[in-house]
Structure 1
Amino acid sequence: MAELKSECCAPPAHAAGSCGCSAAPDTGGDVREVVRERYAAAAREAASGGGCCSAVALTDASGTEVFGNAVYAGAEVDGAGDALSASLGCGVPTAVADLLPGEVVLDLGAGAGADVLISARRVGPAGKAYGLDMTDEMLELARANAAQAGAENVEFVKGYIEDVPLPDGAVDVVISNCVINLAGDKNKVFAEAARVLKPGGRFAVSDVIADAGMDDATRADMAQWTGCIAGALTREEFQDGLRAAGFEDVEIRETHRVHEHAGSAIIRARKATA
């Protein structure tokens, strides 16, 4: 991992602000496989006790930690347990999801399970928290974290956020933490989130929002897909995508900068009741 990290920190990656990530594996340019391999490596690293996560960018170009468990500082994280140390997110969606006892929550791209476990504690025994992830290694790590935390109202399922393996109207709230920007087809993600939500259901995610002027070189840099930069939508694109999928009351609020061309934001919306 050290060799890969130093390779990433050499120009031109460092100049683009992606220092902290490893060089992208050769996958023929398939975004999903790039993401899967990078996050599988992060899960293996965390599970081995070697810390987290040299396989994924956690810092900006200046070395400030803008992803990972540092972003939870000061937030209520009861129930997260060891899962928090392996977080790769860019915000705290559970802080704005307004979760209530008895609700059903779905976390898109649950990773090590921190936000699922926090949600499970808040919805209580009468509620349930689902965690969806496509990476076997992350699912194994998340299930181990749930067992260690003694969480019984959680379920981790394998699948893609563009094709959620849950029935229509199954959940009250959809959350996600810096994952939607990694998807190849964001509109499918928005449509699936709307499909599984009950009428009036809530959408509360943390994600990276690209500045309108993000340069083509940054967008084209595959190595930054797993640093949550190159695949990010602009504010207008995110709003338009959610509205087209049937969401209303869309609110986007930037929380901190993660790159010279992008910032982390809280995005909230509500599925139309009609």
Structure 2
Amino acid sequence: MMTTKTRTNEEIHEAVQDRYGRIAQNFQSELPVLNDSASCCDPDSGADYCGSDLYDVDLSQLPTDVTGLSLGCGDPIAIASLEPGQTVLDLGSGGGIDCFLAAERVGPTGHVIGVDMTPAMLEKANRNKAKLGVAHVEFRQGQIEDLPVEADSVDVIISNCVINLSPDKTAVFHEAFRVLKPGGRLAVSDMVTRGKFTAQERADMSAWAGCITGAEDVGEMATWMQEAGFAQISIQNKEDTGVELADVDPHVGAAQIFSARITAVKPSIAK
């Protein structure tokens, strides 16, 4: 009988870091934005939900080294409702595209922090920062399960197709809640499922690092966010907004994966 190996958190982190480190190191600005070696999605999945073409804004002002390393599955800036002077945190900032777009909206009186665990991506992001000359953006090395950010210091958290890569999503949501100010918001584009992947599917590190089998069922995601303390939780299919997926009847059968818009609020402290 064939057995399925259970992957450790460390093995998952290593697989993810290796994949995105290679993408950053091998990226050349003259290459197409979405080739098989530079997509956050498994090239065999037939998915078309990744890349810079998902943004609703003009990206022509950004260098190709920024847009070409856009490996997200949506546009978190579109749902973040950013305002001048705010402090924004990007979980898994990669080459920095969402940080730089956020910086435009919060202005010079605001502050944007990008956290990423991959040194090669941080090197790219800092080079892009120098090209753009944005002093109110900084990049920090760290894991999103253990953020190098002070408690109650962030107005808005954004993220783009990164939480699905984490082996410990409950820790991610607890950390996000910790660093948000009371009344702060979470605005995330990410891959989620209806139904669950099998243990054998989850053991495939290529599929996990490709933003596929690390995705979790919307019901579990909503529960973990609620347990972390979040309120006003919303998880909607990017292509079919208006329906709260966590309220839909449980899915039976093989996991169905899709890109979602995920928002929530850290309640204000009662006076």
Q: Specify the alignment match of 2:268 in structure 1.
A: 273
Q: Pick one of 17, 20, 32 that aligns with 1:39.
A: 20
| Counterpart residue number, 1:186 | 169
Aligned-residue offset at 1:218: 2.8
Q: Report the secondary structure of 2:191's partner residue.
A: strand
* Alignment match, 1:17: none
Shift of the 191–79 alpha-carbon distance from structure 1 to 2, 3 Å rule, reads farther
Q: In the TM superposition, what is the alpha-carbon distance from 1:47 to its structure 2 partner?
A: 5.2
Q: Which residue of 1 aligns with 2:249?
A: none
TM-score by length of 2: 0.83
Matched position secondary structure for 2:68: helix
| Structure-2 separation of matches of 1:100 and 1:211 | 33
- Cα 1:70–1:239 change in 2 (3 A) is same
- Aligned residues of 2:164 and 2:211 also touching (Cα < 8 A): yes
Contact 2:9 2:167 in 1 (8 A): no
- Give, in angstroms, the shift of residue 149 of structure 1: 1.5
Matches within 5 A, 1:109-258: 109-256=92-239
Give deviations 1:71-96, integer Å, cap 9, x for gaps: 22x33547644312211100100100
Counterpart in the other structure of 1:75: 57
Q: 2: CA distance between counterparts of 1:31 and 1:76?
A: 35
Residues 120/29 of structure 1: CA separation in 2 closer, same or farther (3 Å cut): closer
In 2, distance between residues paired with 1:261 and 1:220?
A: 18
Equivalent pairs counted in the alignment come to: 247
Contact 1:175 1:205 in 2 (8 A): yes
For normalisation by structure 1, the TM-score amounts to 0.82
The alpha carbon displacement at 1:152 in A equals: 1.4
Q: Which amino acid aligns with 2:262?
A: I
CA distance in 2, matches of 1:79, 1:102: 22
User: For residues 79 and 153 of structure 1, what CA distance do their matches in structure 2 show?
Assistant: 18
SS in 2 for 1:30: helix
1:146 to partner: Cα distance: 1.4
Per-residue deviation, residues 220-263 of structure 1 (Å, max 9, x unmatched):
32211111111111111111111111100001111149x97200
State the distance in 1 between where 2:209 and 2:53 align: 18
Q: Is residue 47–residue 141 contact of structure 1 (8 Å, CA) maintained in 2?
A: no
Identity level (%): 43
Tell me the residue number matched to 1:10. Answer: none
Q: In structure 2, do the counterparts of structure 1 residues 231 and 89 end up closer, same or farther at CA, with 3 Å as the change threshold? A: same
Structure 1 residues 171, 40: closer, same or farther in 2, change over 3 A?
same
Cα distance in 1 for partners of 2:268, 2:9 equals 42
Label 1:97 to 1:114 Cα distance change in 2 as closer, same or farther (>3 A). same
Corresponding residue for residue 22 of structure 1: none
Q: Deviations over 1:1-43 (max 9, x none)?
A: xxxxxxxxxxxxxxxxxxxxxxxxxx99800000000000010
Deviation at 1:65, TM superposition (A): 3.0
How far does residue 166 in structure 1 lie from its aligned partner after superposition? Answer: 1.1
Unaligned runs of 5+ in 1: 1-26
Q: Which runs of 5+ in 2 are unaligned?
A: 1-7, 241-253
CA distance in 2, matches of 1:239, 1:222: 25
> CA distance change for structure 1 residues 101 and 240 in 2, over 3 Å: closer, same or farther?
same
Paired with 2:172 and 2:42, the residues of 1 have a C-alpha distance of 26
How far, CA to CA, are the matches of 2:93 and 2:74 in structure 1? 13
Aligned amino acid, residue 252 of structure 1: I
1:162 counterpart SS class: coil
Amino acid at match of 2:18: E
What is the deviation of 1:49? Answer: 5.3
Pick from 73, 80, 99 the counterpart of residue 97 of structure 1: 80
Measure, in 2, the Cα distance between the counterparts of 1:48 and 1:85: 7
